[in-house]
């Protein structure tokens, strides 16, 4: 097995269909200013087997350097465990030769690619990577939106959804040119709750050049009261990047209305999973967010942060 540090364009031909778009060379290129340098690495024996894009920050190799998760991508679905082992060994050797101090990796939640995720987890553990954080990540499996949905969710969520549906709210899929209407609602929500809004609207529109984005709005008599911004990360998974309501409308259970309407929208598109995102920071849970996501029928997964100290 050899390791090759190649150009972004060549990387995009080898890793042509990444499991999720955060691992594409186009997304890495777009966010190149967020790290000191990017390495586009591929691993090859008789043929190309794996790839990974790594940003450099404080002399540490990081994947992702500009998203919630990144990690390795397999060129073929039938990647063998021993091939992953060899690639990780080569990465560690290469990183030491280039005097990097460590390697930090965060893989996607397992539902993106469960078999590959299990192999990577095992291989990284045996290669001496330590687990630094374990984040709780939530997803909604679209097949659960069926005739049993209301009876399967928590009692409070069922009661809140029935209340929300009794109001004459409008759920609107915005044209992308109108996306700022959704962004402005979320900005107010984040400001009122004291949470950071990491992406400016301009940065969001730049991201739209490499990731399809959907913008949603909930209106009450033409007045915006809740919104969501959703990334299409693969043909079967979308990820809610931001959502929220105006605080003065929370008693109307607008988030229960918004989440339910988003589920309804994506089941019609044939999406399999809605990634609702993690609700922990450095492994510490936001209990309110965790309970809301569980109450509406989301399943839990884990985002592992792995680290290998080299020097």
Do residues 55 and 183 share a domain? no
**Residue 240 maps to a domain:** yes
* Per-residue pLDDT, 195: 84
Across residues 171-175, what is the average pLDDT?
A: 98
* Per-residue pLDDT, 58: 96
Closest by alpha carbon to 44, among 9, 91, 77? 91
* Per-residue pLDDT, 96: 98
Q: How far apart are CA 80 and CA 47, in angstroms?
A: 13
The total number of structural domains in the chain stands at: 2
**Residue 309 maps to a domain:** no
Do residues 119 and 142 share a domain? no
* Per-residue pLDDT, 287: 96
**Tell me: the pLDDT tens digits for 208-238?**
999 999 999 999 999 999 999 999 999 999 9
pTM of the model: 0.95
My answer on whether omega of the bond before 198 falls inside 30° of 0, hence cis, is no
Do residues 84 and 151 share a domain? no
Asked if residue 311 has pLDDT above 90, the reply is: no
**CATH number of the domain to which 225 belongs:** 3.40.630.30
Closest by alpha carbon to 47, among 14, 94, 5? 14
**Residue 23 maps to a domain:** yes
Asked if residue 203 has pLDDT above 90, the reply is: yes
**Tell me: the pLDDT tens digits for 238-286?**
999 999 999 999 999 999 999 999 999 999 999 999 999 999 999 999 9
**Domain hosting residue 68, numbered range:** 2-128
Across residues 295-301, what is the average pLDDT?
A: 97
Do residues 65 and 167 share a domain? no
Q: How far apart are CA 19 and CA 21, in angstroms?
A: 7
Asked if residue 106 has pLDDT above 90, the reply is: yes
* Per-residue pLDDT, 34: 95
């Amino acid at each position: 097995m050899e390791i090759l540090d190649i150009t972004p364009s060549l990387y995009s031909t080898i890793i042509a269909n990444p499991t999720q778009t955060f691992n594409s060379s186009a997304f890495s290129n777009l966010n190149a200013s967020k790290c000191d340098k990017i390495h586009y690495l591929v691993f090859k024996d008789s043929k190309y087997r794996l790839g990974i894009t790594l940003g450099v920050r404080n002399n540490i190799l990081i994947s992702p350097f500009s998203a919630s998760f990144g990690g390795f991508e397999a060129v073929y679905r039938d990647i063998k465990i021993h091939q992953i082992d060899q690639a990780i060994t080569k990465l560690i050797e290469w990183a030491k030769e280039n005097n990097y101090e460590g390697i930090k990796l965060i893989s996607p939640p397992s539902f993106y690619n469960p078999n590959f995720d299990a192999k990577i987890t095992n291989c990284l553990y045996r290669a001496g990577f330590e687990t630094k954080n374990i984040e709780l990540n939530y997803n909604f499996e679209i097949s659960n939106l069926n005739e049993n949905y209301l009876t399967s969710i928590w009692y409070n969520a069922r009661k809140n959804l029935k209340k929300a549906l009794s109001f004459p709210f409008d759920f609107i899929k915005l044209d992308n040119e109108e996306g700022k209407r959704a962004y402005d609602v979320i900005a107010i929500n984040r400001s009122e709750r004291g949470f950071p809004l990491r992406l400016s609207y301009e940065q969001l529109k730049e991201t739209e050049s490499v990731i399809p984005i959907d913008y949603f709005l909930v209106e009450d008599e033409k007045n915006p009261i809740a919104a969501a911004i959703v990334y299409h990360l693969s043909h079967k998974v979308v990820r809610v990047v931001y959502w929220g309501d105006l605080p003065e409308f929370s008693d109307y259970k607008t988030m229960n209305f918004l989440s339910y309407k988003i589920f309804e929208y994506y089941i019609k598109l044939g999406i399999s999973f809605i990634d609702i995102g993690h609700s922990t920071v450095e492994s510490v849970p936001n209990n309110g967010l965790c309970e809301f996501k569980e109450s509406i029928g989301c399943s839990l997964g884990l985002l592992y942060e792995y680290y290998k100290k080299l020097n």
